Amino acid sequence: MYWWQESVVYQIYPRSFKDSNHDGIGDLQGIISKLPYLHYLGVDMIWLCPVYASPNEDNGYDISDYFDIMRDFGSMADMDQLIAEAKHFGIGIMMDIVANHTSSEHAWFKEAKKSKNNPYHAYYIFKENLGEIPSDLQSIFLGSAWELSPDTNEFYLHMFAKGQPDLNWDHKSVRDAIYQILNWWMDKGIKGFRFDVIDMISKDLDKKKISDGPNLHTYITEMNQKSYGSRDVLTVGETWGATVEKALKYSNLDGSEFSMIFNFSHILLDQAQGKEKWDFIDLDLLSLKRVLAEQQIQMHGRGWNSLFWNNHDLPRIVSRWGNDKEYRVQSSKMFGTLSHFMQGTPYIYQGEELGMTNVVFEDLNDYRDIETFNMINQRLNQGYEMNSILDSIHKIGRDNARTPFQWSSQAHAGFSDVEPWIKVNPNYIDINVEKQMHDQDSVLEYYRKLIKLRKNSEYQDLIRDGDFELMYEDHPDVFAYNRKLGSQRLEVICNFHGKVITLPYSTKSKRVLLSNYEEVLDQQDLVLRPYAAIVLTAGDE
Ligand code: GLC
Ligand code: CA
């Protein structure tokens, strides 16, 4: 058993967590001031989105110096203080390593573009200018992935923004430089890494393969051996292209690659149906059940799952598949219940524990995300109506997850005392920490219970190791499963709709461990109210 199999990770988007120095931008001192809150919540790891020096074209995912801190966020002294004070609360820090690309402002790229003879030229992916763009490869942020670099008259590859040139991992010095960065941060005492778009580090451009290239696992294994493999840290890879089969390889329990990865198959149901990211369809619950059950069953005893609904790139799950109006509280708790009783390491994205929702800005000027603006330009050129573009942003845009954290009902949600870098969600008056703390019915207190049950209860072994089995597999509105270990058994039953559902079920000798309603057990059937989540124990009496 590894310690991170019992961890609960909390993801912080530093720009939007807490501002300490009145500039409207969240910062490291802000995070330090809120460590007691995270301790109260009960998490034991923080995944810190990038805080390195960066010109901030993609909110820090464009790093110009891996050994320095973004001025907006503070200094290296603040970072050291954060590591030390978090440790004091029993909380480890995970750094977000963006190693598929750097910022175009990184010293390596500044050198690389000067001349073909520069030693750093081989650090990036250049193609000769033969009078036209090297290929029709598209950036993930839309538009061509090639940009002309005038000094050498070559094109360089950027799979994201122009300011994010892709590194050439086939060049040994690049790999060694990254391993050095990892070791440097571990020497500082950090307890883990999240590896940004790590499945893109090996490419086969001739075959138009921009991820899962031929050397991917060789490089990850080498990185493991030359850096974190010998240290006691949690590693998680961001792998948009992962399947269960790939996840087994990455998270093989022999420890040769990563502790775990983010398998997005349950998030990408629409894309699996052939939809583009910005188009969306209603939830197909049967597919969701099938995909998550496959992860649970196939990975059991052979790999390790991360459990998540949200992150800084995704719309809020309560708005996407729940009901963020009249059943906001119930559906937020329902999603938490569903994932926290599965096998794996749960990730809570800031605000999820309050039931924070998507935001609806009508004025495009209120948006900040580069990906959103690229989409607007492209879709306007393609003749889309502004209304449909706005609808896509409201449902899918990344800024939905990036509005300031809602601490209180004071001005700017207690995030800052000046106008924040991005507007707060107007619903902060109702949805905030101050209101939810010590309110036994709040989403926050419910998340505290979820965390306690998995970290410190008679069910913790079962939650960590138990078998998984779907129940009511073909039911179109109910997602239910059971977990078993020895003589213990838990049943998790969730209603995915805003209507009452009655399930034929014998509640005899069952006990409610947790529920998002005050449930009264009937001897005959199980009555599930809108977005109900019920966890029952059985078999251990
Ligand atoms: C990852 C990050 C995302 C970023 C992209 C480029 O997907 O999560 O926020 O824009 O990589 O680094
Ligand atoms: Ca600040």
Asked if 308 contacts 262 with a C-beta cutoff of 8 angstroms, the reply is: yes
The Cβ of residue 379 has, within 10 Å, a number of other Cβ atoms equal to 17
What tokens does 317 get?
């799950």
Contact 368, 421 (CB under 8 A): yes
What is the position in ligand 1's atom list of the atom closest to the CA of 141? Answer: 10
Task: List, in order of start, the domains of the chain with CATH numbers.
Answer: 107-157 (3.90.400.10), 465-537 (2.60.40.1180)
Ligand 1 center to residue 55 CA distance, Å? 15
The owner of tokens 């493999």 is 229
Q: For residue 186, what are the contacts with CB-CB under 8 A and spacing of at least 6? A: 227, 228, 231, 233
Which pLDDT belongs to residue 520? 73
pLDDT tens, residue order, the chain (541 aa): 999 999 999 999 999 999 999 999 999 999 999 999 999 999 999 999 999 999 999 999 999 999 999 999 999 999 999 999 999 999 999 999 999 999 999 999 999 999 999 999 999 999 999 999 999 999 999 899 999 999 999 999 999 999 999 999 999 999 999 999 999 999 999 999 999 999 999 999 999 999 999 999 999 999 999 999 999 999 999 999 999 999 999 999 999 999 999 999 999 999 999 999 999 899 999 999 999 999 999 999 999 999 999 999 999 999 999 999 999 999 999 999 999 999 999 999 999 999 999 999 999 999 999 999 999 999 999 999 999 999 999 999 999 999 999 999 999 999 999 999 999 999 999 999 999 998 999 999 999 999 999 999 999 999 999 999 999 999 999 999 999 999 999 999 999 999 999 998 888 889 999 999 987 777 678 999 999 999 999 864 4
Burial letters for 224-248: b for 16+ Cβ neighbours within 10 Å, e otherwise? bebbbeeeebbbbbbbbebebebbb
The ligand 1 site (C-beta within 6 Å) comprises: 58, 61, 98, 160, 196-197, 238, 312-313
In sequence order, which ranges of 267-424 are alpha helices (DSSP H)? Answer: 269-272, 285-299, 317-320, 328-340, 370-381, 386-396
Q: Ligand 1 centre from 287 Cα, in Å?
A: 26
CA–centroid distance, residue 73 to ligand 2 (Å): 6
Q: Give the closest ligand to the alpha carbon of residue 30.
A: 2
The ligand 1 atom nearest the CA atom of 61 = 12
Known catalytic residues? 196, 238
Q: What is the pLDDT of residue 539?
A: 62
Please name the residue whose Cα sits nearest to atom 4 of ligand 1. Answer: 61
Give the per-residue pLDDT at 420: 98
Assess contact for 102 and 138: CB atoms under 8 A: no
Nearest CA to ligand 1 atom 12: 61
> Residue 238: nearest ligand to its CA?
1
CA of 268 to the centre of ligand 1 (A): 16
Which residues have a Cβ under 8 Å from the Cβ of 203 and sit 6 or more positions away? 125, 166, 209, 210, 211, 213
Provide the token pair at 383: 């003749």
C-alpha 341 – ligand 1 centre gap (Å): 28
What is the rounded distance in angstroms from the CA atom of residue 322 to the CA atom of residue 441?
Answer: 18
Given the CA of residue 58, which atom of ligand 1 is nearest to it?
Answer: 10
DSSP alpha helix (H) spans, 346-423: 370-381, 386-396
DSSP state of 438: T
Kindly give the number of the ligand 1 atom that is closest to the alpha carbon of 370. 10
Yes or no: say if 211 and 179 are a contact pair by the CB < 8 Å rule.
no
Number of C-beta neighbours around residue 179 at 10 A: 18
Ligand nearest to the CA of 70: 2
Cα–Cα distance measured from residue 333 to residue 331, given in angstroms and rounded to the nearest whole number: 5
Beta-strand relationship, 501-504 and 9-12: unpaired
